[in-house]
């Protein structure tokens, strides 16, 4: 990693499969794959053990790859309440592990991630996977989809918040306008 790069750990939270992807992104928005994988927990294990397994897996990735920031996919409502609860719990564990490590953490919605990497907020999984392979100059998309999603989350974060700021030491006018708009929107949401 060069001094002008940012290393981001992207997390696609889940209890059965928690996708993790680490990328280095330079000031010119060139992304390089550092690590990709999936943390798995047994579906028949008690919830506490599964969450502890996710936390242990995340701590191992943090320790090995030492990212500068963590980005987690924001949980959204789905039809299956049990699925959304498990995803929300894994997301909370991811944010906790990042905080324990003293790392800045952010969440991004699925449509934000899709728009960042494909230019279209309603892109399907296949389109996202194809773009991740192209962005990272890979021969084929990372498998399973949870792993590709984690890389997309990391790239989205670096492109939207991190790399240009880390490289230039300040926000570009467009990034500043975006950050200001997000700050205003948050005041009205609360």
CATH number at residue 58: 3.30.420.10
Would you state the pLDDT for residue 83? 75
The answer to whether position 164 is within a domain reads: yes
Known catalytic residue: 12? yes
For residues 177 and 151, what is the distance between their CA atoms, to the nearest angstrom?
26
23 within some domain: yes
Backbone phi, psi, residue 108, to 5°: -135, 140
Q: Is residue 73 part of a domain?
A: yes
64, 73, 149, 182: the catalytic one is: 73
Q: What is the pLDDT of residue 16?
A: 93
Known catalytic membership, residue 24: no
The backbone region for 35, taken as left when phi is positive above 0, alpha when psi lies in -120 to 50, beta otherwise, is: beta
Q: CB–CB of 128/114 below 8 Å? A: yes
Residue 29 Rama label (left phi>0; alpha psi -120 to 50; beta): left
Q: How far is Cα 33 from Cα 17, in angstroms, rounded to an integer? A: 20
42 in a structural domain:
yes
Residue 6 is predicted with a pLDDT of 95
Known catalytic membership, residue 73: yes
Residue 1 forms part of a structural domain: no
Low-confidence ranges of the chain (pLDDT < 70): 1-4, 77-81, 162-190
Q: Among candidates 78, 77, 83, which has minimal Cα distance to 15?
A: 83
- Please check whether residue 19 lies inside any domain of the structure: yes
Domain count, the chain: 1
What range defines the domain where residue 21 resides?
6-189
- pTM of the shown model: 0.83
What is the per-residue pLDDT for 166? Answer: 45
pLDDT value at residue 75: 83
User: Can you say how many angstroms the Cα of residue 144 is from the centroid of all Cα atoms in its chain?
Assistant: 15
Domain assignment present for residue 118? The answer is yes
Q: What CA–CA distance (Å, rounded) separates 98 from 186?
A: 22
Q: Which of 64, 66, 68, 146 is catalytic?
A: 146
Length of the chain: 190
Report yes or no on 155 lying in a domain: yes
Residue of 12, 24, 26, 149 marked active site: 12
User: Do β-strands 6-12 and 17-25 pair in parallel, antiparallel, or remain unpaired?
Assistant: antiparallel
């Amino acid at each position: 990693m060069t001094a002008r790069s940012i290393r981001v750990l992207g997390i696609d939270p889940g209890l059965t499969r928690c996708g993790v992807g680490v990328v280095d992104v330079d000031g010119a928005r060139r992304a390089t794959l550092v690590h990709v994988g999936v943390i798995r927990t047994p579906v028949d294990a008690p919830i506490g053990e599964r969450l502890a397994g996710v936390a242990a897996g995340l701590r191992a990735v943090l320790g090995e790859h030492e990212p500068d920031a963590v980005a987690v996919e924001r949980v959204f409502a789905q039809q299956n309440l049990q699925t959304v609860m498990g995803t929300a719990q894994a997301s909370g564990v991811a944010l906790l592990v990042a905080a324990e490590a003293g790392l800045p953490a952010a969440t991004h919605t699925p449509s934000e991630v899709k728009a960042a990497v494909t230019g279209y907020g309603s892109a399907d999984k296949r389109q996202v996977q194809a773009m991740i392979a192209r962005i990272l100059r890979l021969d084929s998309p990372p498998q399973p989809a949870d792993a590709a999603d984690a890389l997309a989350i990391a790239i989205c974060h670096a492109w939207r918040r991190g790399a240009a700021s880390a490289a230039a030491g300040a926000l570009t006018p467009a990034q500043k306008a975006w950050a200001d708009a997000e700050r205003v929107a948050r005041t009205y949401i609360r």
